[in-house]
Structure 1
């Protein structure tokens, strides 16, 4: 696509820029919890230390697991409720509502401290999780429905890049706080409070974008849909291209209505061609969670500590470098490799590479366990497999998302996206519970 095509779709890119701040929030919340809980003052203030002042590992691990798992629990129910809400009030206003819900949760996390104990953080994480789960289900469908087919794959592929950027930002914010702030409530209030910045950008930005033409057409508001479609394409409502695209949208909606007659919600399984699409989305996200990559994102500081990066500063810095690797690997793949390699081949190659590298990391930890509380050069030997694993995971899932979005159409896309997010949250919660049990044993 040339320069003219880019400017022709500038309003679609602006919509994606606004909506994907919610995906940055998703990545940010993924990485922020583990770093905050690893802060020394956080442990001292919330009673995660022994009587002699040493860290109580069991309590710290329990709180770390709770901070992560309650977010996942909230996200599950957020994704579950997102489909009927967005179908009823539209993509734009549902996203704005979910952003407000998320902001309430972020505020509760931020004001915790003093007489307001861990309960505020847990409650805030649940509420924020509801918002995040819903946003991550609605946002890709909204962007995809508004994007012309010639740029749809590229724009939807930005999803994983924004997740990686959010994770990276959370790591470096934790690192900066750990480096410059040793005591005081700001140890957690700054990381948690900064969640409100992208939420605010998204909320105000949503006021500048138009509702999905597909959703409007599905509600019989054809004239509004035509006006919004023409606005997004920077063309007149009388332009032949706009009329043709609008006719395609209406024909697709009518075809789906005919296909759904007598089926209801069962069409997700038994609708023509839907079963294989549903299975692809569900299986991909189950395997993503079981691959362990998100557990690393959630617990990066603790994991880097366990392989020999002693001290909060070193483990947070290692997490930040890991975040940079994720962003670069994802961006390179989405922009330069996804079309040449293809989704299937990239999934296979990177999954194999990820499995081999995880095996290498496990073998190194088994044969060369890090001495406790003693700095050692051995973490360098473990850092490179960890970063290479991140590269494989980023290339694998960067393409998987765009594959999922380009395989579905219209209302099926929204339902399929919601289903895949639900499966992801459920699998994520199961993975985290297993990890928590291991840490206790």
Structure 2
């Protein structure tokens, strides 16, 4: 596993041209990442809102039996995930045929419509609103990491792609605290829960407006045969001329990958895409890795905690009401602080693989403690929180710490990095469909699981998370520092032996055929030879 990077190594971006870290790149990052706020608010709001007496009265939860109330609460929370699974499937054809930017605008508008419908105190309209908002959130959950991954310089690709996840956690934390604040109101009118849910309209509006001023991704344009426009957009985004070595190398790698795909199979329709995935081993390995990561991402139990954190804190002995919402708010702050640390210092310095394994181990151990505590201590939520319950709260915060170091972000980054241009949208769409459909099942089942299984719910999550950590060790390579196009070389190796090739050497970070051409170019210059045509990169088309 030669080529591993020291934790204390200098970030690779220090050797990049300063021009590529410019205002246009930062604006694109903020605009696209804003989609994460829509996801985070919608996910974080509903768990606390379901506990508010005004909401229970407005939607009849207060007059139902415990089992019926659990079923309705599960349906309300899970409806977003049901829409999300449909949105994830729609995102791929929209991204490929309407463009990344136009698709973000369309689904951003859909989210706003759905969020507005959730302000109506009618169960049918509320269900429809969460379903429609879910379409927007599900689609942008695929489009945003794809957009950020395709446009980011490779040295900071992890950090910029995970700003989407940072926005999710930021909004989630704000939603938790909004729920706590409205729970303190003396009024029990519908304004209480409507205000909590209306907050999500703000980032949704910013997303829609800001996307009108973002350029389309150069990689998508090049993969569609629009190489001149792709080169122009690349130069605009990097703020460098077309003959700059950095632009030449990046453009050459993208073109080489597109040319290699076209040599195997002509065309880019979905029949060709599915054939490429089914018949090319390296593509099958990539899809298997990404989808499995998303399965384990959900099997950690994070959706149960996000949607039903107040009820889970109550299970370990925290008094119900505002106190559980306060404890949930602190849980959100722990997630936020750790995610900021991960995005700013970890993902592009240490990488994706090591933090994920450490974070998964912490999560699994936390869930194991909660399971054993609930099983043997049998805590009650009356008469104060016992000492074991306080330790349980600490372990849930450790769970949040581990989650933000690993499963919270790594699947998104990996999915955005590893696929070649032709199959990227389709493959990421499948990944996020699995993400959302499993989310739907878990969210819908969680109230009933906590009522009937109790401690067994947490034991199940603990065992699955331990298995996920083992899978990561053997099958997930480190993608830090590699160009997106160099993944073609990496996935020539078997997925089950990937741990032997996990950490890249300097030669592994650039696509080998492009690297060979640059070596030939240098050799030719030394002997006064003519520069290879493939490396001149359409110099005649420079502005």
Corresponding residue number in structure 1 for 2:219: 214
- Secondary structure at the counterpart of residue 225 of structure 2: coil
Distance 1:43 1:56 in 2: 12
| Cα distance, 1:416 vs structure 2 | 2.7
Distance 1:233 1:340 in 2: 22
Range with bigger deviation, 153-162 or 25-34: 153-162
| Structure 1 residues 400 and 81: alpha-carbon distance in aligned structure 2, compared to 1, 3 A threshold | closer
Which runs of no fewer than 5 residues in structure 2 stay unpaired?
A: 1-12, 453-543
Distance 1:357 1:186 in 2: 37
Distance 1:212 1:254 in 2: 18
Corresponding residue number in structure 2 for 1:196: 201
Indicate the structure with greater helix content. 1
| Within-5 A mapping of 1:369-384 | 369-378=378-387, 379-384=389-394
Q: 1:33-62, CA deviations, whole angstroms, 9 ceiling, x for partnerless residues? A: 111111011112322224xxxx85334322
Q: 1:64-104, CA deviations, whole angstroms, 9 ceiling, x for partnerless residues? A: 21112111111001001110111001000000000011111
| Cα distance, 1:297 vs structure 2 | 0.9
Is 1:42 aligned with 2:55?
yes
Distance 1:6 1:189 in 2: 45
Corresponding residue number in structure 1 for 2:428: 417
Corresponding residue number in structure 1 for 2:113: 104
| Cα distance, 1:429 vs structure 2 | 2.1
| Cα distance, 1:197 vs structure 2 | 0.5
| Structure 1 residues 354 and 372: alpha-carbon distance in aligned structure 2, compared to 1, 3 A threshold | closer
Which runs of no fewer than 5 residues in structure 1 stay unpaired?
A: none
Distance 1:354 1:64 in 2: 26
Corresponding residue number in structure 2 for 1:387: 397
| Cα distance, 1:141 vs structure 2 | 0.8
Distance 1:307 1:344 in 2: 32
Distance 1:95 1:339 in 2: 26
Preserved contact between residue 37 and residue 63 of structure 1 (Cα < 8 Å): no
Range with bigger deviation, 123-132 or 308-317: 308-317
| Cα distance, 1:432 vs structure 2 | 2.7
Is 1:130 aligned with 2:98?
no
Query: Which one of 144, 156, 160 corresponds to residue 165 of structure 2?
Result: 160
Preserved contact between residue 145 and residue 410 of structure 1 (Cα < 8 Å): no
Q: 1:328-371, CA deviations, whole angstroms, 9 ceiling, x for partnerless residues? A: 22222333334555433333232222222211111111222233
Range with bigger deviation, 329-338 or 14-23: 329-338
| Structure 1 residues 340 and 15: alpha-carbon distance in aligned structure 2, compared to 1, 3 A threshold | closer
Preserved contact between residue 158 and residue 347 of structure 2 (Cα < 8 Å): no
Corresponding residue number in structure 1 for 2:480: none
Is 1:254 aligned with 2:259?
yes
Is 1:87 aligned with 2:96?
yes
Query: Which one of 309, 315, 318 corresponds to residue 324 of structure 2?
Result: 315
| Structure 1 residues 372 and 305: alpha-carbon distance in aligned structure 2, compared to 1, 3 A threshold | closer
Preserved contact between residue 259 and residue 271 of structure 1 (Cα < 8 Å): no
Preserved contact between residue 334 and residue 399 of structure 1 (Cα < 8 Å): no
Corresponding residue number in structure 2 for 1:242: 247
| Cα distance, 1:377 vs structure 2 | 4.0
Which of the pair has more CA radius of gyration? 2
Preserved contact between residue 22 and residue 136 of structure 1 (Cα < 8 Å): yes
TM-score (norm 2): 0.75
TM-score (norm 1): 0.91
Corresponding residue number in structure 2 for 1:360: 369
Distance 1:342 1:197 in 2: 33
Distance 1:276 1:103 in 2: 37
| Cα distance, 1:310 vs structure 2 | 1.8
Alpha carbon RMSD of aligned pairs, Å?
Answer: 2.3
| Cα distance, 1:437 vs structure 2 | 3.9
Distance 2:412 2:353 in 1: 12
Query: Which one of 331, 355, 373 corresponds to residue 346 of structure 1?
Result: 355
Distance 1:371 1:338 in 2: 40
| Structure 1 residues 284 and 358: alpha-carbon distance in aligned structure 2, compared to 1, 3 A threshold | same
| Structure 1 residues 439 and 249: alpha-carbon distance in aligned structure 2, compared to 1, 3 A threshold | same
